[in-house]
Amino acid sequence: MIGRIQIIRHEAVPKCGSYERCSMRMRILVIGAMLAVSPMAARAAATCDDFKAAMIEDAAQHQAPPPTFRLEHVNSADANNQFFSITMFDDARAAMSCWHGEVETFAADANSAEPMSVLHTMLLAGIGLHGYGLEWRQALQVRDQLVSLAKASDRQVSEVHVAGGKVSLVISIVGPPREGNPVGVPTFQIDTDR
């Protein structure tokens, strides 16, 4: 839907072990529903050049290392289908594909469950959403909503639609809980609708 976010995957009836956990899940679902009806200013699929420029600008604004974009592959059947690796941090990976000058996919994932790796991945997710066309505050709200929905989900997965595409987050559990929270590695992705 143009200019709106729609939550498309959630648990209709949360399976909870305690009142507090169930109450938290219900609050997250209510917040998700509120976001689903609130307008979000986003343009349809960003151009690759605009996306790259926004990432460079956001990195400078947040005092992060400047991203470097390396052309990794050009589709032999269609030279307008290109794949780039994006390097900003040593502990998080990012990549994007461009199809006829528009962002087709942007992905970022943590190399480990270490806090800085997860933090860098979440910064890449916010920068990616902003580069895709959301206002900065809205980009952070969507990113944080994805995290809340994934943590509340038994499968640790969340997905929302934004104008022109969908955004997803998967948290892969990789170890025993730390301080009562499962240790997870986030994977974030934006896919443009075609």
pLDDT band at residue 3, thresholds of 50, 70 and 90? very low
Residue 70 pLDDT > 50: yes
Percentage above 70 pLDDT, the chain:
72
Do the domain assignments include residue 168? yes
| pLDDT, greater one: 58 or 173 | 58
- State residue 190's pLDDT score: 93
pLDDT band at residue 180, thresholds of 50, 70 and 90? low
Q: HEC states along the chain?
A: CCCECEEEECCCCCCCCCHHHHHHHHHHHHHHHHHHHCECCCCCCCEHHHHHHHHHHHHHHCCCCCCEEEEEEECCCCCCEEEEEEEEECCEEEEEEEECCEEEEEEEEECCCCHHHHHHHHHHHHHHHHHHCCCHHHHHHHHHHHHHHHHHCCCCEEEEEECCEEEEEEEEEEEEEECCEEEEEEEEEEEECC
Q: What is the pTM assigned to this prediction? A: 0.74
- Rounded to the nearest 10 degrees, what angle do helices 48-61 and 115-132 cross at? 130
Residue 181 pLDDT > 70: no
pLDDT band at residue 193, thresholds of 50, 70 and 90? confident
Number of domains in the chain: 1
- State residue 182's pLDDT score: 58
Do the domain assignments include residue 1? no
CB 32 within 8 Å of CB 153: no
Mean pLDDT of the chain: 79
Residue 32 pLDDT > 50: no
Do the domain assignments include residue 15? yes
- State residue 42's pLDDT score: 42
Instruction: Give 112-151 pLDDT, tens digit per residue.
Output: 889 999 999 999 999 999 999 899 999 999 999 999 999 8
Range of the domain at 13: 6-192
Do the domain assignments include residue 128? yes
Do the domain assignments include residue 99? yes
Residue 9 pLDDT > 70: no
Do the domain assignments include residue 55? yes
